[in-house]
Amino acid sequence: MLIVNPNATQESYPKALQNIMSIRKANESRAWLADWSRLNSGGTPLYSLPDMAAELGVADILVKDESERSVLGSFKALGAPIALVRLILRQFPEQRYEARGLLAGEYRDALADFTVISATDGNHGRALAAAAQSVGCRCVIVLHANVSIEREEAIATYGAEIVRISGNYDESVEEAAALAVKNDWLVVSDTSYDGYEEIPRDVMQGYGTISAEIVEVLSQRITHVFLQGGVGGMAAGIASYLWELYGAERPTFVVVEPVQADCLYQSAIAGQAAKATGSVDSVMAGLACGETSPLAWKFLQPCVDFFMTIEDEQAVSAMRRIAVGSASDIPVVSGESGVAGLAGLIGLDNDPQLAEQVGLNSGSRILVINTEGATAPGVYRALVGESAQSVLARQLVWLQGR
Ligand SMILES: Cc1ncc(COP(=O)(O)O)c(C=O)c1O
């Protein structure tokens, strides 16, 4: 399903939004993260898929491959560490901590009793746990019933204490907030709620690194960006940067969600941050969020042109398609949530009327972000029918053949 957002404008990036998130702040975050040992150096690749573009009848499809961002396996490695660093700088101004020194663990003795907590459906919690371990503070992660054991173990590897609840993602967010109040811990959440905006803003701002790297290597302007949405933070972080940079000439933004977790789609209908209408459970675990982040919505409402939903099968089919590759298209490991933007594009392309509505044609240059690799390797293998290692081995052969 697809809807036009009646509130999208073609104006330049508003000052009021620039005061919240800006290219300047995104660049500062990027510089702080540059030496963090958990990130791969040199940024992530931007691949062109010419064969798929020809098949879909567009000029180019560019894939920013965040599966290669870090050992953590997803783009979330850019958000939590920055939010944690900025939080500690605000909490202890008199200590004059240095941002890079925090991530290098230089102040671990002083911070050993400082505790942060968050709910997660996997990737944010893994990134926060890893950042806390680097900084040397304590971390508690609250998991809802549907987070796989595989993801739980990956988080625990980084020394976080795990709290498992029987409810869904939104209930885990509430549980984290309650535990924080009870124990005097600080919540480092990637979603905002009433009276809680600073930290999710810092998380979103961290994602600006992705946009910064993309525009540095682009040889031609992109016309469309397909962004998958959970609570909306990723889409807001990427879109706000590109909107500020290109102003009225910004690309068309399309936000893609699982049909069962359509909180952003519903927000577009309501004209304000809203809740999902479906079961919220989806194979796209990272996107299985029932409530829009109100802060993210402030950015998405005025600049996302279309909101659309996809079925789980569309994501699985796109995972297989991008994993296969071709003579000219590199095989890519794209996880269930990582592939959703591409799955949305393929879905539109199968419906000529919708494709025309979104302005997709032979001149379109489309950007998608592969936000995760095989962050749950067992799930990946079961869905794709091939292990991530095997796809990566074919990727290597493909690269060597260039
Ligand atoms: C792999 C992946 N992609 C996209 C998203 C969506 O990000 P957001 O919740 O900020 O919209 C998530 C969120 O967890 C994710 O894990």
The domain that holds 133 is classified in CATH as 3.40.50.1100
Length of the chain: 402
Of 60, 65, 121, 262, the active-site residue reads: 121
Question: Could you read off the pLDDT of 66-118 as tens digits, one per residue?
Answer: 999 999 999 999 999 999 999 999 999 999 999 999 999 999 999 999 999 99
191: Cα within 13 Å, side-chain hemisphere: 30
- In the three-class reduction of DSSP (H, G, I as helix; E, B as strand; rest coil), residue 19 is classed as coil
CA–CA distance, 177 with 151 (Å, rounded to integer): 21
Handedness of CA 80, 82, 85, 88 (dihedral sign): negative
How many domains are contained in the chain? 2
Q: Is 256 in the pocket of ligand 1 (CB under 6 A)?
A: no
237 and 295 both lie in a single domain: yes
Angle 357-363-365 (CA atoms, 0-180°, nearest 5)? 90
Q: Is 113 annotated as catalytic?
A: no
118 lines ligand 1 (CB under 6 A): no
Residue 147, by phi and psi: left (phi above 0), alpha (psi -120 to 50) or beta? Answer: beta
Residue 91 lies in a domain: yes
Task: Flag whether pLDDT at 168 surpasses 90.
Answer: no
Q: 362 and 230 in one domain? A: yes
345 shares its domain with 309: yes
The answer to whether 39 touches 341, Cβ cutoff 8 Å, is no
Residue 195 lies in a domain: no
> Measuring from atom 15 of ligand 1, which residue has the nearest CA?
286
Q: Is there a catalytic annotation at residue 64?
A: no
- 175 shares a domain with 127: yes
pLDDT score for 281: 87
Same domain, 316 and 337: yes
299 C-alpha to ligand 1 centroid (Å):
16
Average pLDDT (166-193) is: 94
Which percentage of the chain shows pLDDT scores above 90? 95
Residue range 380-398: average pLDDT?
98
Euclidean distance between CA atoms 379 and 337, whole angstroms: 12
User: Rounded mean pLDDT of 276-295?
Assistant: 93
Return the pLDDT at 122: 86
pTM: 0.96
Residue 97 structural domain:
80-189
What are the CA-CA distances from residue 31 to residues 24, 134, 369 (Å)? 11, 17, 21
Report the pLDDT value the prediction gives residue 334, as an integer from 0 to 100. 98
